[in-house]
């Protein structure tokens, strides 16, 4: 252990933060002020450590104090914490939207801004629940641009019905929307840049404005997301691997290496005991733990399943 990691525990449990959304439900937390909860932000730079000697400190504070111990060789403190993990409870359609890539975000939003590539892992799917991912095959860029500008995006949107345990990778530039009846885990680049194409005729407001020309600029007609079906993976093994992050599913009895970076472990089934560098911690459903790079690996025991995201 170096001086960089001398005060850094190997298991850092994180507190969720709940966000009201017009499309949210009641499976994550009770409504606030009559508005349902749509998102639980379970891991990002603003997350607070809930237990142990570093309780009360934020992830960003730890990143600045122990950059090598926390991040390893992946990322730089001045760029901010690279990932954001959420749980989403959808009782109504989310807006049809798209995100820029890194290069586009730096031009359209500002220097140093990230784009947003993301992935979804479905935890509960009600019968008939749908989503939109990409546009129908054969749609030309010109047709797509016209549909965005003139309110016809649903006519060219590709619909799909996910199943529990499916994983869908959504690279930047992919048109997408989640529908009612879905509960899911989302890992994404730490960016809040969203261009809204269509909002199901909800009243326009400053917080839910449309961004039609930005959407035309970044939406790609050739992207429809990349599916990994639960029947293929069983929700374990490598589910997504891209330059922005890797997502792995693991059950009790498995060890997951961190490959020189940190890991964000979220229990999505049952209860698991995490072991890293000789420390142990029991984690229940939807609990999320940050495992710093210096720990090297995390071992899971118990009857359950977790998702582990690394940069």
- Which positions are catalytic? 196
By C-alpha distance, which of 296, 300, 290, 295 is closest to 264?
290
By C-alpha distance, which of 110, 109, 60 is closest to 80?
60
Look up residue 251 and give its two tokens.
Answer: 């059950």
By C-alpha distance, which of 201, 244, 193 is closest to 217?
193
Q: How far apart are CA 214 and CA 18, in angstroms?
A: 28
Instruction: Specify which residues 183 forms β-bridges with.
Output: 89, 124
By C-alpha distance, which of 245, 240, 233 is closest to 305?
233
First to last CA, the chain: 22
Nearby residues of 238 by Cβ (< 8 Å), 6 or more positions away: 246, 247, 248
């Amino acid at each position: 252990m170096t001086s960089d990691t001398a005060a850094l525990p190997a298991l850092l449990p994180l507190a969720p933060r709940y966000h009201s959304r017009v499309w949210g439900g009641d499976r994550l937390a009770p409504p606030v002020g009559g508005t349902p909860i749509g998102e639980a932000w379970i891991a990002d730079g603003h997350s607070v450590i809930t237990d142990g000697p570093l309780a009360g400190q934020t992830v960003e504070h730890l990143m600045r104090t122990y950059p090598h111990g926390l991040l390893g060789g992946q990322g730089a403190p001045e760029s901010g914490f690279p990932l954001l993990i959420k749980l989403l409870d959808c009782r109504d359609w989310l807006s049809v939207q798209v995100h820029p890539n890194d290069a586009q975000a730096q031009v359209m939003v500002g220097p140093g801004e990230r784009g947003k590539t993301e992935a979804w892992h479905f935890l509960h799917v009600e019968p008939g629940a749908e989503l939109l991912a990409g546009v129908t095959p054969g749609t030309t860029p010109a047709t797509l641009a016209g549909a965005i500008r003139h309110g016809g995006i649903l006519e060219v949107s590709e619909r799909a019905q996910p199943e529990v345990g499916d994983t869908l990778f959504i690279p930047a530039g992919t048109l997408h929307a989640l529908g009612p009846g879905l509960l899911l885990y989302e890992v994404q680049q730490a960016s809040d840049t969203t261009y809204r194409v269509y909002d199901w005729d909800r009243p326009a407001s400053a917080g839910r404005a449309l961004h039609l020309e930005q959407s035309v600029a970044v939406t790609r007609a050739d992207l429809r997301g990349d599916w990994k079906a639960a029947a293929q993976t069983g929700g374990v093994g490598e589910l997504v691997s891209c330059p922005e992050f890797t997502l792995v599913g693991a059950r009790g009895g498995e060890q997951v290496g961190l490959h020189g970076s940190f890991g964000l472990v979220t229990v999505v089934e049952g209860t698991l005991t995490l072991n890293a560098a000789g420390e142990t911690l029991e984690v229940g459903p939807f609990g999320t733990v940050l495992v710093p790079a210096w720990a090297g690996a995390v071992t899971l025991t118990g009857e359950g399943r977790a998702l582990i995201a690394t940069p």
